[in-house]
């Protein structure tokens, strides 16, 4: 009987992990608009450009990277896709991933005053960085992809960005819990994300890796995601393993991380 109850509980969490976030986006859409407005005000308060600064800032980062690689270093590559184009597409996608994951480390702490003494839909908060940072960096990603590869590449970039945001959902819930209950995670995980960036073919093409290192890339799910992003936007080579490994990881983590968040939810106000 205990085994049956556990199986039913896991099945319920697995179903809720899909319907729960989607239902929150619809049922709490008014509250979500207020939270997004609050986030935008917090990010742009005191700036001369106001809300436009949210797009100008990452755009200036991309422009600086392009100027350094293309104008100053004059980096060239013999392949079909130039290294500068490859680097910019991968780096913008990574900046979006990194921003969302790091924001979720502190999102429950930052909004603690909203739910500490009131009833509040806590599972809505990890969705906020996905929506806000995803909209900011996703827009820049689409614009740069369109400039480099045309309108078709821009459309594919939009689909790729949406898929990446959906893939980040379980990690967002996981990091939100870790950031609240394990304070060391706020220092350790940003370091691990930086390390992960160097271990992922973002600042270099996969072909430059030594042959002995290439099989180890199968252990890096972000490397698979980046391979799919480059394949969608720039027509780079990819394999079915690049698609299957992140999908299986997502299918495993989504119900597990949702269950972790829901079970930790009654203790979140105490952790503050």
Confidence bin at 253 (pLDDT 50/70/90)? very high
> How crowded is the C-beta side of 219, counted as CA atoms within 13 Å?
6
Q: Is the predicted pLDDT of residue 18 greater than 90, yes or no?
A: no
Q: What is the pLDDT of residue 271?
A: 74
Sign for the CA dihedral angle at 46, 47, 48, 49 comes to: negative
What are the pLDDT digits (tens) for 87-140?
888 989 999 999 999 999 999 988 888 777 778 889 999 999 999 989 888 988
The C-alpha atoms of residue 131 and residue 31 are separated, in whole angstroms, by: 14
Section 150-173 average pLDDT: 94
Q: What is the pLDDT of residue 78?
A: 56
Quickly list DSSP for the chain.
-HHHHHHHHHHHHHHHHHHHHHHHHHHTHHHHHHHHHHHHHHHHTT-SSGGGHHHHHHHHHHHHHHIIIIIIS----SSSS-HHHHHHHHHHHHHHHHHHHHHHHHHHHHTHHHHSSS---GGGTTHHHHHHHHHHHHHHHHHHHHHHH-HHHHHHHHHHHHHHHHHTHHHHHHHHHHHHH-TTHHHHHHHHHHHHHHHSTTSS-GGGS-TTTGGGGGG-HHHHHHHHHHHHHH-----HHHHHHHHHHHHHHHHHHHHHHHHHGGGHHHH-
Sign for the CA dihedral angle at 217, 223, 228, 233 comes to: negative
Q: What is the pLDDT of residue 116?
A: 76
Section 155-171 average pLDDT: 95
The C-alpha atoms of residue 103 and residue 131 are separated, in whole angstroms, by: 12
- The first and second tokens of residue 20, run together, are 């729960």
> How crowded is the C-beta side of 135, counted as CA atoms within 13 Å?
11
Section 251-258 average pLDDT: 93
Report the domain count for the chain.
Answer: 1
Section 254-258 average pLDDT: 93
Q: Which residue's entry shows tokens 């839909």?
A: 121
Q: Which comes out higher in pLDDT, residue 74 or 253? A: 253
Q: What is the pLDDT of residue 16?
A: 77
The C-alpha atoms of residue 153 and residue 123 are separated, in whole angstroms, by: 34
Residue-number span of the structural domain to which 63 is assigned: 2-271
The C-alpha atoms of residue 81 and residue 185 are separated, in whole angstroms, by: 38
Q: What is the pLDDT of residue 154?
A: 92
Closest CA to 165 of 245, 101, 251: 101
**Ramachandran sector of residue 77 (left: φ over 0; alpha: ψ -120 to 50; beta: rest):** beta
What are the pLDDT digits (tens) for 215-250?
888 899 999 999 999 999 988 889 999 999 999 999
Q: Is the predicted pLDDT of residue 59 greater than 80, yes or no?
A: no
Section 69-74 average pLDDT: 63
Section 10-38 average pLDDT: 81
């Amino acid at each position: 009987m205990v085994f049956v109850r556990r199986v039913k509980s896991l099945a319920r969490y697995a179903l809720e992990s899909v319907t729960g976030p989607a239902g929150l986006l619809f049922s709490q859409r008014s509250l979500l608009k207020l939270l997004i407005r609050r986030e935008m005000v917090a990010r742009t308060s005191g700036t001369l450009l106001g809300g436009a600064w949210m797009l100008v800032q990452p755009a200036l980062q991309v422009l600086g990277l392009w100027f350094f690689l293309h104008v100053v270093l004059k980096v060239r590559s013999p392949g079909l896709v130039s290294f500068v184009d490859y680097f910019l597409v991968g780096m913008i996608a990574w900046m979006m991933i990194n921003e969302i994951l790091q924001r979720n480390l502190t999102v429950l702490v930052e909004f603690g005053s909203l739910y500490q003494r009131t009833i509040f839909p806590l599972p809505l908060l990890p969705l906020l960085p996905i929506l806000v940072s995803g909209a900011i960096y996703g827009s820049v990603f689409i614009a740069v992809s369109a400039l480099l590869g045309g309108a078709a590449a821009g459309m594919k970039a939009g689909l790729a960005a949406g898929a990446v945001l959906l893939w980040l959902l379980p990690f967002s819930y996981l990091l939100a819990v870790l950031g609240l209950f394990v304070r060391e995670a706020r220092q350790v995980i940003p370091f691990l994300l930086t390390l992960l960036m160097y271990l992922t073919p973002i600042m270099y093409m996969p072909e430059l890796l030594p042959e002995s290192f290439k099989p180890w890339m199968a252990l890096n799910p972000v490397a698979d995601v980046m391979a799919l992003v480059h394949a969608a936007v720039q027509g780079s080579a990819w394999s079915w393993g690049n698609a299957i490994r992140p999908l299986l990881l997502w299918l495993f983590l989504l119900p597990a991380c949702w269950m972790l968040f829901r079970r930790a939810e009654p203790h979140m106000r105490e952790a503050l």
